[in-house]
Structure 1
């Protein structure tokens, strides 16, 4: 990722933080709409899961320029997800739901450049997680 892309992701996520609860609701609502088969992998009460999602996104976004911090955290998360039954194919609808959520939350601030920066970010995140999961 370029420094400009990292800045775009970090600046745009700063606009999402104040609406974190809404963003998490939107994300999981969209995910379960486009990939209903994954719903049983999650608890009935999603409050803690939503907090975990936003905390991990925050960690990843904040540390995009610090691979020594973000990579081990994502590897651990990838291994945990493998233990929950997550498959490589599940990452595609997650990425789609994330981009859709960002578009809803950011509105006109979700410019083509911001979109592309998030595509790159999610590709890196998912790639690290899938590689770690494959080692399990």
Structure 2
């Protein structure tokens, strides 16, 4: 990720953060639409789950300046998700639903540059998650 992408991530996260509950619901609705077999992995309140996702994303965004620490946090998150039954392939499915939810929330602000920045960030995060779930 380059400096401009980091800037775009931080800026757009400020827009998304106040709408984390709604964006989280969009995310999980889309996730279960893409792959209904994932629904049983999420036994709790989806609104609360969405909030947790965006809290974790916020921590990851804040840690972009310290990638080593961020990678440790993401690996730990991935390890926990193995216990929930998450498979490496599910990381890609989640990523597709996540990007879709961001696009819905940001609307016209989800420019090609913003999309590329989020794809790049999710790529970094997903590599660490996949390593932990493999």
Question: Can you give the 5+ residue segments of structure 1 that lack an aligned partner in the other structure?
Answer: none
The CA distance in 1 between the partners of 2:79 and 2:17, in whole Å, is: 26
Structure 1 residue 70: Cα displacement: 1.0
The CA distance in 2 between the partners of 1:125 and 1:87, in whole Å, is: 15
The CA distance in 2 between the partners of 1:44 and 1:122, in whole Å, is: 24
Scaled by the length of structure 1, what TM-score is found?
Answer: 0.93
The CA distance in 2 between the partners of 1:74 and 1:112, in whole Å, is: 26
Bigger proportion of residues as helix = 2
Of 58-67 and 108-117, the range deviating more from structure 2: 58-67
User: What per-residue deviation string (whole Å, max 9, x for no partner) do you get for residues 1-56 of structure 1?
Assistant: 10111111111111001111111111111111111110000014224322211110
Q: Which residue number corresponds to residue 120 of structure 1?
A: 120
SS at structure 1 position matched to 2:65: coil
Q: Which residue number corresponds to residue 17 of structure 1?
A: 17
Structure 1 residue 113: Cα displacement: 0.5
The CA distance in 2 between the partners of 1:115 and 1:25, in whole Å, is: 20
State the aligned residue count: 134
Question: Can you give the 5+ residue segments of structure 2 that lack an aligned partner in the other structure?
Answer: none
The CA distance in 2 between the partners of 1:112 and 1:47, in whole Å, is: 28
SS at structure 2 position matched to 1:43: coil
Within the alignment, does 1:30 sit opposite 2:27 as a pair?
Answer: no
The CA distance in 2 between the partners of 1:123 and 1:103, in whole Å, is: 17
Of 48-57 and 18-27, the range deviating more from structure 2: 48-57
